[in-house]
């Protein structure tokens, strides 16, 4: 087994070879739209002989049976039978527009959310039970709202339309936060979403990873690392990328 340093040397040592071919990537819809897609144009410009087929799909994809090269998934570690690299930490926050808060007031405590319209996932009853912690204190609040949506892009749009306070992944909300169109609600409390984890890029075990795949993995990991460093809001929540048994690169 190669350690992380050996894996990095193996990858970087083959960057002088010109990669070519198609990279087929399966990715959840919201992650594909907000995290991966913005970096694809730069990748295509850097590697003119590599094409990208980005497949946005929330269902489980069998990489072998469906002829997919890479899968980007939110998980704690690579599932059995797969290798991968961790890209970033996925965490959620509560957001609202300044206009909504000016009209309805700004919550100062999680219990204040009972007096607000809250926008949540809505797939299961537990999605409306919002959990918070601050130090050793843990609080669960049953929230209510007239609108629930199981797509983060839709929830983002609903929040921007001043419908209420929404639960959003940071990667979905961060540009609107930086622009001042959204503000974080209850920033002194840690919002414990039901769907959190780490974003990994996964692939089947192989002794020689094709150059086209290696450069895509390295490119995306580095872009996300730089992007995370530049983030100012809650930077302590964003983890550096780590390596997980990258194999040697083949032709």
Give the confidence band of 130 by pLDDT, cuts at 50, 70, 90: very high
Q: What is the pLDDT of residues 156-210, one digit of tens each?
A: 999 999 999 999 999 999 999 999 999 999 999 999 987 788 999 999 888 889 9
| Contact yes or no for 238/90 (Cβ under 8 A) | no
Give the tens place of pLDDT for each residue, 64-94.
778 899 999 998 878 888 999 999 999 999 9
Do 179 and 245 lie in one domain? The reply is no
Say whether both 118 and 239 belong to one domain: no
Q: State residue 180's pLDDT score.
A: 97
Residues 205 and 221 grouped into a single domain: yes
Q: What percent of the chain has pLDDT over 70?
A: 84
Give me the pLDDT at residue 215, please: 98
Compute φ and ψ for 106, nearest 5 degrees.
-100, 120
Spatial CA neighbour of 137 closest among 185, 196, 193, 189: 189
Which residue in 74, 76, 69, 65 sits closest to 54, CA to CA?
69
Domain count, the chain: 2
- Sign of the dihedral through C-alpha 113, 115, 117, 122: positive
| CATH code of the domain containing 123 | 3.40.190.290
* Same domain flag for 13 and 61: yes
- Run of H or E including 90: strand 83-90
This prediction's pTM:
0.79
Q: Are residues 123 and 164 in the same domain?
A: yes
Average pLDDT, the chain: 86
- For residue 77, what is the domain's CATH number? 3.40.190.10
Q: Is the dihedral of CA 150, 156, 158, 164 positive or negative?
A: positive
Alpha-carbon 88 to chain mean position: 7
pLDDT in tens, 91-122: 999 999 999 999 999 999 999 999 999 999 98
Q: Which pLDDT value is given to residue 66?
A: 82
Which residue, 144, 89, 84, is CA-closest to 120? 144
Beta partners for residue 197, in sequence order: 90
């Amino acid at each position: 087994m190669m350690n992380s340093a050996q894996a990095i040397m193996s990858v970087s040592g083959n960057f002088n070879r010109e990669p070519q071919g198609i990279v087929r990537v399966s990715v959840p819809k919201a992650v594909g739209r907000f995290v991966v897609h913005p970096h694809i144009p730069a990748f295509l410009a850097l590697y003119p002989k590599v094409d990208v087929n980005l497949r946005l799909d929330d269902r489980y994809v069998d990489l072998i049976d469906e002829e997919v090269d890479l899968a980007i998934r939110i998980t704690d570690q690579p599932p059995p039978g797969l290798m991968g690299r961790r890209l970033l930490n996925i965490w959620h926050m509560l957001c609202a527009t300044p206009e909504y808060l000016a009209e309805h007031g700004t919550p100062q405590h999680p219990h204040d959310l009972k007096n607000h319209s809250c926008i949540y996932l809505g797939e299961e009853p537990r999605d409306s039970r919002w959990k918070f912690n601050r130090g050793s204190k843990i609080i669960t609040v049953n929230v209510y709202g007239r609108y629930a949506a199981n797509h983060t892009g839709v929830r983002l749009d609903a929040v921007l339309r001043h419908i209420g306070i929404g639960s959003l992944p940071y990667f979905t909300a961060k540009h609107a936060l930086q622009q001042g169109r959204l503000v974080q609600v209850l920033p002194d409390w840690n919002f414990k979403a039901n769907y959190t984890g780490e974003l990994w890029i996964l692939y089947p075990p192989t002794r020689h990873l094709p150059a086209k795949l290696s450069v895509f993995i390295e490119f995306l990991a580095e872009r996300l690392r730089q992007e995370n460093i530049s983030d100012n809001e809650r930077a302590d929540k964003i983890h550096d990328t780590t390596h997980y048994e990258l194999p040697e690169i083949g032709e």
